[in-house]
């Protein structure tokens, strides 16, 4: 058992640093940088996320109070508020976006067989967006309304995990449905969306890519029923129909047949009408899939409550994007640690424990579990950290 490393250092050992340096080289992140490297910047921002720091002054005060431990944390350059602010403002945010995608790929491989509530072997995604309000006078680039600024976090969430597989950060004026223009559908995958993404041209493009979509109709959607299948109304189903669109423009945008399913939710006492291009799965499964879409809402709530993405350390667009991407990378990193070490506590609990023990020299397994068998395995050297 190695008790010589701080908890922060042990957590950072799960980072694939070789891939990080590739991302830095891709965008010349360390060009003409002598002291405070991109890795130093990332570690400082990771420290802020893990310990719930609220400002640059807060980050620097905490780090400078432990100067003797910075080298062992992996931070080689001098830490000051102006240095970190300049790095967030000038270092290309795409470095951290690409590195987060590396972590996402690793996490999805670990959670690929994780159940999510529906018996399907296909990959199932939930697509949605959340708005983060900003002060327009401080963030003039974040256009939203006349007297209000905001950014939108568009997220495609893999429900097995749940792990974000695609993230796009835009200003608040970008409509949610426009993200379908840059999203590349995966053949055989399911995409669960609310009615804000109901655009028949884009849905037809998704159908042509051999992907399945499940969304809700709008009240003004005009269609003609071609065929009705029998349903068991005790399950909440009300109808399962094959339809075609009859509005001239809609029929031109989506010329094929669609499947319409009506469902009554006894818990909320509401009726839901779903549209999908999949005619093979059970109608009740379609309703269950849409119910799983709420996992993306829970994801947004979680990251807003437990990550630092509402109070920003810089006002430039680059600084905001950098902070959001590093925050997402820490979320994914904790998910990787949880899976690799087979930890039982939730991600919230793991973050809370890390936050108050960040400088302790205790193995993270001893912090996160009270199981004596696990401690014995640790002592016998059965756990190892994979940094490749």
Q: Which residues contact 248 (CB under 8 A, 6 or more apart)?
A: none
Locate tokens 């989506």: which residue? 254
Question: What is the average pLDDT score of the chain?
Answer: 90
370 — pLDDT class (breaks 50, 70, 90): low
Does residue 138 lie in a domain region?
no
Does residue 321 lie in a domain region?
yes
Residue 42 sits in the same domain as residue 86: yes
Reported for 354-359, long-range contacts at CB under 8 A and 24+ positions apart, including other chains, are 354/7, 354/8, 354/11, 354/50, 355/50, 355/51, 355/52, 357/7, 358/6, 358/7, 358/8, 358/47, 358/50, 358/51, 359/6, 359/7, 359/8, 359/66, 359/69
292, 327, 357 - which closes a domain: 292
Residue 338 sits in the same domain as residue 286: no
Q: Which tens digits make up the pLDDT trace of 235-290?
A: 999 999 999 999 999 999 999 999 999 999 988 899 999 999 999 999 999 999 99
Q: Which of 368, 307, 305 lies closest to 339, judged by CA? A: 368
Does residue 164 lie in a domain region?
no
Q: Where are the beta strands (DSSP E) in 208-340?
A: 212-216, 223-229, 237-245, 258-265, 270-276
- Is the model more confident about 310 or about 227? 227
Does residue 223 lie in a domain region?
yes
Which pLDDT value is given to residue 3? 53
Which pLDDT value is given to residue 117? 84
Residue 211 sits in the same domain as residue 260: yes
Residue 281 sits in the same domain as residue 225: yes
Residue 356 sits in the same domain as residue 282: no
Q: Which tens digits make up the pLDDT trace of 340-366?
A: 999 888 899 999 999 999 988 888 888
Which pLDDT value is given to residue 372? 38
Does residue 276 lie in a domain region?
yes
| Count of domains forming the chain | 2
Mean pLDDT of 195-208: 95
Q: Is the dihedral of CA 54, 60, 66, 72 positive or negative?
A: positive
Q: Which tens digits make up the pLDDT trace of 312-338?
A: 999 999 999 999 999 999 999 999 999
Residue 288 sits in the same domain as residue 200: yes
Does residue 259 lie in a domain region?
yes
Q: Which structural domain, as residue segments, surrounds residue 245? A: 195-292
Using the predicted structure, report yes or no on whether residue 375 has a pLDDT greater than 50: no
Other CB atoms within 10 Å distance of the CB of residue 347: 15
292, 326, 345 - which closes a domain: 292
Q: Which of 330, 325, 333 lies closest to 88, judged by CA? A: 325
Q: What percent of the chain has pLDDT over 90?
A: 74
Which pLDDT value is given to residue 217? 93
Contact 283, 237 (CB under 8 A): yes
Using the predicted structure, report yes or no on whether residue 74 has a pLDDT greater than 60: yes
> How far is the C-alpha of 137 from the C-alpha of 310, rounded, in Å?
16
Residue 240 sits in the same domain as residue 273: yes
Q: Which tens digits make up the pLDDT trace of 133-189?
A: 999 989 999 999 888 999 999 999 999 888 999 999 999 999 999 999 999 999 999
Does residue 281 lie in a domain region?
yes
Mean pLDDT of 17-36: 93
> How far is the C-alpha of 72 from the C-alpha of 10, rounded, in Å?
10
- Is the model more confident about 229 or about 379? 229
Does residue 244 lie in a domain region?
yes
């Amino acid at each position: 058992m190695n008790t010589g490393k701080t908890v922060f250092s042990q957590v950072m050992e799960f980072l694939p640093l070789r891939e990080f340096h590739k991302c830095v080289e891709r965008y010349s992140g360390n060009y003409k940088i002598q002291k405070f490297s991109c890795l130093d910047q990332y570690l400082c921002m990771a420290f802020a996320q893990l310990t719930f720091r609220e400002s640059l002054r807060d980050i620097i005060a905490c780090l400078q109070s432990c100067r003797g431990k910075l080298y062992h944390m992996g931070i080689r350059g001098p830490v000051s508020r102006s240095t970190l602010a300049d790095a967030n403002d000038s270092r290309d945010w795409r470095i951290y976006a690409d590195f987060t995608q590396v972590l996402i790929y690793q996490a999805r491989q670990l959670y690929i067989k994780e159940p999510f509530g529906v018996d399907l072997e296909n990959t199932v995604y939930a697509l949605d967006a959340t708005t983060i309000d900003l002060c327009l006078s401080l963030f003039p680039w974040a256009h939203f309304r006349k007297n209000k600024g905001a950014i939108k976090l568009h997220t495609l969430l893999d429900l097995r995990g749940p792990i974000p597989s695609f993230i796009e950060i835009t200003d608040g004026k970008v409509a949610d449905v426009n993200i379908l223009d840059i999203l590349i559908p995966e053949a055989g995958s399911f995409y669960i969306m609310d009615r804000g993404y109901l655009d028949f041209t884009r849905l037809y493009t998704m159908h042509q890519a051999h992907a399945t979509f499940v969304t809700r109709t709008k009240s003004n959607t005009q269609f003609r029923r071609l065929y009705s299948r029998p349903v068991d109304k005790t399950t909440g189903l009300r109808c399962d129909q094959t339809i075609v669109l009859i509005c001239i423009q809609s029929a031109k945008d989506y010329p094929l047949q669609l499947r319409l399913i009506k469902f009554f939710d006894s818990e909320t006492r509401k009726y839901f009408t779903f549209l999908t291009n999949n005619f093979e799965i059970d109608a009740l499964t379609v309703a269950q899939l849409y119910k799983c879409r709420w996992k993306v809402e829970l994801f947004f709530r979680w990251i807003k409550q437990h990550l630092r993405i509402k109070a920003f350390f810089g006002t430039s667009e680059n600084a905001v994007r950098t902070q959001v991407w590093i925050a997402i990378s820490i979320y994914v990193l904790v998910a990787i640690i949880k899976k690799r070490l087979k930890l039982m506590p939730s991600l919230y609990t793991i973050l809370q424990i890390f936050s108050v023990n960040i400088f302790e020299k205790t193995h993270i397994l001893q912090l996160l579990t009270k199981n004596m068998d696990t401690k014995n395995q640790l002592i016998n050297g059965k756990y190892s950290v994979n940094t490749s």
